[in-house]
Amino acid sequence: MTRWIGIDHGTKRIGVAVGDAEGRIATPLEVVSAGDVGFAERIKKIVAEYDAVGVVVGWPLLGDDSEGPQARLARRFAADLAEMTGLDVRLWDERLSSFQADERLKGEFTRKQKERRQDAVAAATILEDFFTGNGPTSAHRPGDSRP
């Protein structure tokens, strides 16, 4: 079983999920504050706990496949995470992940309950798309040139 950790990076909250590449299934794990200084250590613990081979960070490209400010922030976050942890960190297009997370949670929870889960569900959505799109062999690393 080849596991990856998925991350939906935001300026306020960061969603985390774990998934299995062979089964192409991902499970939301948690949401942490974007300002949490121990986040890199938390990711290292999750990677060890699930024996994951790498981390996928959602990359919010613009409609024309270029990088806007949010995509540059995600790339910088991914590069910092790779440097701090020594893990294989990849970027994956996440343009529809929040919408898909909303759809998955629709009718299940109150608005406040959805807010607490949405980012982890978005991370799971990113990870499932990464598996379906052959991400483990084709995804960009943070230091790679343009998409």
The residues spanned by each domain of the chain are 3-138
Which CATH architecture is the domain 3-138 placed in?
2-Layer Sandwich (3.30)
Contact 72, 55 (CB under 8 A): no
Encode pLDDT of 14-36 as tens digits: 999 999 988 888 999 999 888 88
The residue with greater pLDDT, 58 or 38, is: 58
> pLDDT tens, 82-139?
998 888 999 998 875 555 545 655 566 556 555 667 788 889 999 998 998 888 888 9
In contact, 31 and 18? CB cutoff 8 Å: no
Question: What is the pTM (predicted TM-score) of this model?
Answer: 0.85
Contact call for residues 75 and 67 (beta carbons, < 8 A): yes
State the pairing for strand pair 13-20/25-33.
Answer: antiparallel
